[in-house]
Structure formats: structure tokens, C-alpha cells
Amino acid sequence: MALFGKKNDDENKNIEQTDDLDALIMSAIEETDLEEQQLREEKIAKANERAEAMAKAREEALEREKKLEEMKKSLPNEGRRFFLVVEDQDGFETDVKIVGNLHGTMKVDDKVFIYKPDYKVTPAVVKEIEDCEGDESTKSSDPKSRRVTVTLAVPVPETIPEFSVVASSKPDTTGDKKIPAENPALLGLSMEYKRFSKEHKFTEALMTAILNGKFLVAGMPKEEQNADGKKALSLISLNDPRAKNGIMLPIFTDPAALAMWKELMKREKKPVVLVMDFKDAVKQTSAKSMDFIINPYGPAPMKLPREVIDRITNTPDFKNWASGLNERRKEDTNKSLATKIIIGELPTSPESEAVKKTLIRYCSGNPDVEKAGVAAKIHGKNSAYLFIIDCKAGKEKEIFTALFKEIKPLISDNRNIEFSLYKDTVFAEDYFSKHPIDYRK
């Protein structure tokens, strides 16, 4: 009996041990299942977070794209950038044909600015663009450029000098260094540097554009501060074993050229972008005797050795020129954009009232006229009635002739009559935003 009893005890003990082992195994399995479930839930949560982040990024990207498109619509010529260096011109009154290499996309009716070698600026409107037949490609630094003849409508008859630059970019008339740099004349000329670098007139125009330039320059903040309490900056240079001091300062004509420096924004510390005049850049780099390189990453890199910089800046003419640069730039640009003519409201008189009534009556009876206005134009000692007409394409000659016949008997002999299409009149929108238009369909 004792033996049987002991055996039962041993069996019971073994059963208990087996039960404990099973419970331990089951517990481990349950814990493993729980861990796996938690891992699955964490993976799902992380996947959801990634999906949400990607959706948010897509949404933000679409929003940025939408804002960019809206901004482009508000910019002149839909934000398109283009340049043409004038090599030849043939003008008739206020229509001027120019020949050159077109860099970028230009369209008919685009509003443009003509930057002359003396740094005067004239606004214009593109009337026609024709490819030059039988002409080899441009041989410029831009393989995408094409040889064209462009007809421009300019405010007054004038000659457009060789090596003027026709560009979409509007000139800065403020002189404010906080405004991002735009150097249309310099950028356009740099694209033709390889072709014309040995021509004296070209190099003169190029140096004028450089000396008058406002450039973007990158720097890194230092820990210490300047005497004025502002954080000190160290200009970012590029290595060049051929340079006098082994380094050169990269300077950029505009934000688009700076954006081509891809590595700049990948630095651990965020760089600072400064706007500098040429004379300020010379001053900031004089201690290290740096060379300059303009737009090193494109569209047309151009190096300026220190020997050339020092030779220019050490002349008395440069020192006289550099004083008051911002004020002179603003004054000269504003004067040139005044287009050398005065446009204003007609003085009230029986004659001017009769002219307006006749214009309104004629336009009301002609379905081809969309809108029309008349203003006083003074150019030197000459004065005229200027009729600005928006009409159906191809009908302008007929309308101008008919209006001339009706208006001529109403005015005195010392007043001229001039006609212009609304789309070709560079100041029309600005003028009629401040003065009521006489007729609108």
C-alpha cells in the first residue's frame, strides 16, 4: 500500500509540475501574442502617421504650387524670364525691329524693358516675333536660345543701341537693399560673353552693368558680434587654385541663379543671404584679395579676377562714381521710365469736350471697339490728342482713319492727332487706373 501511495504522490507531483509548465508555456505564448499585437498596433500607428505626414506634405505642396501659380499670374508676363541682347535694329516711328539671340520664352503682347548700355531703361511691348531663317544657331552659352527678329512698340521714336538688353524683369526704382536683386542687363550680357568679349562696346556695357549691379551673397553667422551689436558674418567662398588667394567670392545676379547652388541649403547651419552693391563686395573682400565669380552654377558663369577689380576700383573715376550710387540709380531709372513724354488729362475747353463727345458717339456706333480714351500728350514742344483704342484685331486702320476724319475739323491747327492700340501702349493700364476712360462697350 505504501508503495502504491508513494507512486500516486509522485504522479500527482509530476502532474502538478506538468500543469505548471503548461501554464508557463501558455503564459509565454499569451505574452508573445500580446507583444506581437502591440508591435502590429505600433506598426499600424506608425504607418498611419507616415500616411498622414505624406498626405499633409502633398497638401502643402499643392497649396504651394497653387500659390506659386497665383503669384505667377500677378507677375509681368506670367513670371516668364527672358533676355535678348540687341545686335541690330531697324526702326520706324514707334515700331522698332531688333535682332538677337532670345534666351527664354517670349510671347506677343509681353511687356518688356530695354536696358541700354548707358543704364537708361525704356518700357516696350512685344508686337511680333519671327525666327531668323537660314541663320545658324546662336553660338551663345545657352544651347536653347534661338535667333529672332522682334518688333517692339516703344513710347516714342528712338534708336536702341547695340548691346542693349531686352528683358522681362522690371527695374528696381527704390534702391532698397532689402529687395531681392535683379540684374537683367548683366544676366543678358553674360549669356553672350563668349561671342563678344573682345568687342570694346560690349565690354563697356558689361562693366557698366557690373558696376551698377546689386548682388546676392551668401554668409554664415559667427558667434561674436560686430561693434554695432549685430551678429558678425563670414562670407562663404569657393576654392580656386588659380585664384590669387586660392579662393573666390561667388556673387549672384538674382534668386534663380542663387537657387542653382544646391549644396548651400544642405549645410548644417542655415546660411544668410545678403544684398550687396559691387563696391560693398569689393570692400568686404579686400583683406583676402578675393577674385569674384558671377553665377558660378549658371546660367553663364563669369569670373572677374582681383587684378581687374583693383585696377577699376583704384581709379579716381570709380571713387567719384561710387559715392551716392543708390540715389543716382533710383533717379536715373525713374527718369528713363518716364518715357520722355508727358501724358495727362485734356484741359477742359469747348474743343476738348467736342472731341470727347465725337469719340464716344463714334465708338458707340461701332461694334468693333471695346474701349477707348483720349489724353493729352506732350513731347518736347509738340502737343497732341492721343487716342488709345482697344478694338477687334485687323480693324484698327479702318477705325483710326474714320476717327481722324471726324476729329480733325474740331481741333486747332497747332494740335496733332495720334492713335495707339491699347495693348501696345505701355502706360495705358496705369493711366486709366487713375483717370476715367471715355468709352467702354
pLDDT at 165 over 90: yes
Partnered with residue 80 across adjacent β-strands are none
- List, in sequence order, the alpha helices (H) in 291-348: 306-313, 316-322, 325-337
Helices and strands (DSSP H and E) totals, the chain: 12, 19
Question: What digits encode the pLDDT tens for the residues 305-340?
Answer: 888 888 888 776 676 666 655 454 555 554 554 445
Q: Produce one character per residue of 172-203: b if its CB has 16 or more CB atoms within 10 Å, e if not.
A: bbebeeeeebbbbbbbbbbbbbebbeeeeebe
Between CA 162 and CA 60 the distance in angstroms is 47
The DSSP secondary structure of 142-185, one letter per residue, reads -TT-EEEEEEEE-SS-----TT-EEESSPPP-S--TTSPP--HH
Pairing of strands 165-167, 214-225: unpaired
The DSSP secondary structure of 344-407, one letter per residue, reads EPPPPSHHHHHHHHHHHHHHHT-TTEEEEEEEEEEETTEEEEEEEEEE-TT-HHHHHHHHHHHH
Residue 167's nearest CA partner among 273, 253, 90 is 253
pLDDT, position 364: 94
Partnered with residue 72 across adjacent β-strands are none
The three-class DSSP label of residue 216 is strand
Comparison of pLDDT for 33 and 136, the residue scoring more: 33
Exposed (0-12), middle (13-18) or buried (19+): which is 110, by Cβ within 10 Å? buried
The three grid cell numbers given for residue 418, joined into one nine-digit string: 495720334
The three grid cell numbers given for residue 132, joined into one nine-digit string: 531668323
pLDDT at 96 over 80: yes
Between CA 375 and CA 230 the distance in angstroms is 53
pLDDT at 189 over 90: yes
Residue 201's nearest CA partner among 166, 161, 167, 165 is 161
Question: What digits encode the pLDDT tens for the residues 2-48?
Answer: 444 444 555 455 555 555 666 655 666 666 666 667 777 777 778 78
Question: What digits encode the pLDDT tens for the residues 374-403?
Answer: 988 876 556 788 899 999 988 988 999 999
